[in-house]
Amino acid sequence: MLWAEEKWLSRNEQSSVVCMSGYAIKPLTRPIELALLLLNRLFLSLCSLNGFEGGGMGKRGEFWVFVQAILLAMLVFAPAIGPAWRAPLLFSCLGWGCCLGAALLLVGSVVNLGRSLTPFPRPLPKGELVTSGAYRLVRHPIYFGVLLASLGFSLLTYSPLRLLMTLVLFMFFDLKARREEVWLEERYPMYLEYKSRVKKLLPWVY
């Protein structure tokens, strides 16, 4: 089963959507959703080959954390390539701004979670659903904070390769958040209402 937000097509919906294996993709998000669904299928196939069956990636989602650590290490140790950037001072200021915003967001998110904080996607047995503070801005503010820090680091180091890795991280966090939200919906019945009014990764956008 795909983790993307999908629904079975009724006859009167078939004219307004694109189908993939019997599931619907909204036209406005068609290119992004198609790319993410294909990446999702590839990722599931690779995990299946490595013994992570059933989409769980470990009881708590350990495999997701393992892959995330690899991607972050690749971003940090990415080699410097490409020509010098024009207006380096501008990019430095933007980079520091992103890093400062990321630091404030990450600290706020950790404080908001409190004892519900866990490095794994699966919520803690005694964890509580948090929708206040940074979680009023976006459903996964820690992921957004890491992306913002990655963008800032890329701009500070004038690295097109790190910018590319930031995009890869965004796609990874989107897939990880989809798996995480399956568990959240199972644990917290009120999560669907929260999900309907707050964006996933980018405030007011996505």
Q: Indicate the pLDDT class of residue 37, thresholds 50, 70 and 90.
A: low
pLDDT at 168: 96
Q: 54-94 pLDDT, tens per residue?
A: 444 678 888 999 999 999 999 999 988 888 788 889 999 99
Identify which has the larger pLDDT, 27 or 204. 204
User: Picking from 16-20, 70-74, 97-101, 139-143, which range would have the lowest pLDDT averaged per residue?
Assistant: 16-20
Separation between Cα atoms, residue 147 and residue 145, nearest integer Å: 5
In this predicted structure, the answer to whether residue 116 has a pLDDT above a threshold of 70 is yes
Q: What is the helix (H) or strand (E) element at residue 33, kind and residue range?
A: helix 30-49
Q: What is the rounded average pLDDT for all residues in the chain?
A: 80
58: left (phi over 0), alpha (psi -120 to 50) or beta: left
Boundaries of every domain in the chain = 1-55, 59-197
Q: Please, which residues bridge with residue 20 across strands? A: 23
pLDDT at 82: 80
Separation between Cα atoms, residue 41 and residue 44, nearest integer Å: 5
Identify which has the larger pLDDT, 80 or 32. 80
Separation between Cα atoms, residue 80 and residue 167, nearest integer Å: 17
In this predicted structure, the answer to whether residue 204 has a pLDDT above a threshold of 60 is yes
Q: 149-171 pLDDT, tens per residue?
A: 999 999 999 999 999 999 999 99
User: Picking from 3-7, 45-49, 195-199, which range would have the lowest pLDDT averaged per residue?
Assistant: 3-7
